[in-house]
Structure 1
Amino acid sequence: MSVIGEERVRGAGGMFVEISADDQDTQPTEIESLCMNCYQNGITRLLLTKIPFFREIIISSFSCPHCHWNNTEIQSAGRIQEQGVSYTLKIKSKQDMNREVVKTDSATTRIPELDFEIPAFTQKGSLSTIEGLLNRAVAGLQQDQPVRRATDPDVAGKIEQFIQRLNKLKDVEEEFTLIIDDPSGNSFVENPFAPQKDQSLSVSFYKRSPEQNAALGIQDTDPMSEEKPGNDLETMRNEVLVFNTNCPECNAPASTNMKLVQIPHFKEVIIMATNCDSCGHRTNEVKSGGATEEMGTKITLHLTDVTDMSRDLLKSETCSVLIPELEFELGMAALGGKFTTLEGLLKDIKDLVVMKNPFICGDSSSTDTSEKLELFGKKIDKIMAGEMDVHIILDDPAGNSYLQNVYAPDDDPEMKTEKYTRTFEQNEELGLNDMKTEGYGETQN
């Protein structure tokens, strides 16, 4: 490894350095390696960098001075998310073809109307558009067509017909559905109506299967399941458990603290906090310490004073956040579980929708989208300053979310809590429809 490479790895910025056109000192790491074409020694250049609002990547370029063979690859170095993600997009017009898409190499792409599928790990990750994905699929099918026409004309003819059908989709003569399913959770599909909800796009998060974990190269283990002396419930209430992990920002080794906490007038929750000594990043996440409630909970708070910003708030992974006056809806699992204040939740929403939106920066940005999101951010600031009269709604089908009642044990005149029966679809998302809890294990005669 070169001296420059060592400085980049050990520098204060972490292993991955952001790409900058003004950075003239950015140099790749050079490694002598074997050429697989002529079996002489060549040079591999590695650049560990970070694409703004995307992921960390490793750019590798090999060149051989003997046979002049070259090869360039881009590999994802990003963190695998805790849940997989599936995007289902109804494409209805030519404008939808311009939606930008981040597709990782672990994502599966499907078009049900054509019974067409691009399996995971058959293509490298890309930042493209819907039209770009179709062009890439067409190029892949056309690659071996000359050989097929010579060896198997019938198959070549059928593939040519299929290519024509794919090309027709780009003209959007009829509606079709595009599904991107990524177990790593690192793929994205643009919502051009942000911060409003996109009626044509549905996003769902799911727990990976053991087979998917194996395909991603991770082990399906749970730190809570490891047997440790004195690791019973009472011990957990009185101590902070610590386990090793990686920082979600710079991927450096970090530690996560976990504690079981009793929230007054509510229930027990598990708080997990990660602190990175390398880049200073801090994050916290909350898991419910109890079972799924029999009924869902909907909490509506009318903000009447700036002091409401200091109310404690528990948002579970299954909770949606709505602000009707802004026509804003944040789906479940978008921010994960959080134990914070109302002001902290609003700041996180602003960061997610405005500051960390991957489609309003650089070449991906459009004037209309940037202006709408900037206006949305200003409205969030007004809400936090108590200058805007709005309602905050926490809708949790699992019933595991909480908003502090400052008048407890009396009723809060500005807050309404409703219990409701979950729909079949909500039970399906929570995995309750196939769960057998009564008579389990009984012997059938």
Structure 2
Amino acid sequence: MSAIGTLDPVRGGGEATPALFRPLSAEDEEQLPAEIESLCMACHSNGVTRLLLTRIPFFKEIIVSSFACSRCGSTNSEIQSAGRIQDQGVCYMLTVRSKQDMNREVVKTDCATARVPELDFEIPAFSQKGVLTTIEGLIERAIEGLKQDQPFRRETHPDVAEKIEEFICKLKRLKDVDSAFTFILDDPSGNSFVENPHAPQRDEALVVTHYRRTAQQAALLGIEAEESKEDLTDSVDDLRNEVLQFGTNCPECNAPASTNMKLVQIPHFKEVIIMATNCDACGHRTNEVKSGGAIEPLGTKITLHVTDPSDMTRDILKVAKNPFTLGDSSTSDRAEKLCAFGRKLQQVVDGQLRIHFVLDDPAGNSYLQNVYAPEEDPEMRVEHYERRFEQNEELGLNDMKTEGYEAEGSSQR
């Protein structure tokens, strides 16, 4: 193995460290491959493998390897991506119209699939090693592969050999570009590439699409499949259909108790969390409803004009008894006022008195049922407003900082 200067990570004498991956260029005299003595798998003698670490413009770094055996003449070459598997797969679709298009540089990894739909021609994934070539080179390689067993086919299956020969002629005509055709390169690893000679400008003949890998594609690449949106939806649906239970302490007697929690979707509103705690020791029970989301950017004020007894089927709090105002310690004047207020509420319930019910929530997370949903309720008005400083203070928002940490940390460094 010979030591090559361009691959050395460190040089002495105060010289600048050269780049490990250099742009592929014929004028770069220092860009020489590293040579490694390797075993020839054909004759089992020693051959030479040459490795070249290079960077393709507007793409990424790759490793080009080439093996040659001087004894038996066996050769082999392939490319490997020097980076990781990308977050998304990539599909290149090129309309080939001229000889210049046939000379476009192509990086095809071993897991990529190349297709020409007009001929129903496909180079399947993992049928070839990765290669750095051109579109013409890919087609020529396919032609050579089909020719390889033709003598044997002519002896054993002449009809099959004839059909393959006809298909080879069609592939050769593709090289002459007698008519336009479509070249598709689909790589779930995201590491294949088709050259855009107009880069960084857009190429009208080339369409590049990035996509999310399927579970089958991820398995072929030997990686764990990402959780799809469908899987996430199923997980949320399972959560909605399940009552969660966790241990806590009773707020009255501090004995161990259990709290049940369930996620519920209110139609035409949002998700809320219903929590209920039961204590077997003292019998204490509590329940509450919490918003399933964050505090809204705006407060909400809902005004309902109660005109019909059916409006009373909407959520409302009705006061019936209060031991501090109707018990022995209450005054007659206070009790009479509360009774009068109770009679008015009963008149509202019976539909004898029309009122306006106002629900004002600075957090924007309260709700009043719209019986006409999804249409607007003619008797209900929903207003959104900017919170006052005092309201933000009560919600603890004035001292809450959620932005600028990265910039602040950079300035401190």
TM-score range, shorter chain: 0.3 to 0.5
TM-score (norm 1): 0.41
Between structure 1 and structure 2, the one with the greater Rg is 2
TM-score (normalised: structure 2): 0.44
Greater RCO structure (CA 8 Å; 6+ sep): 1
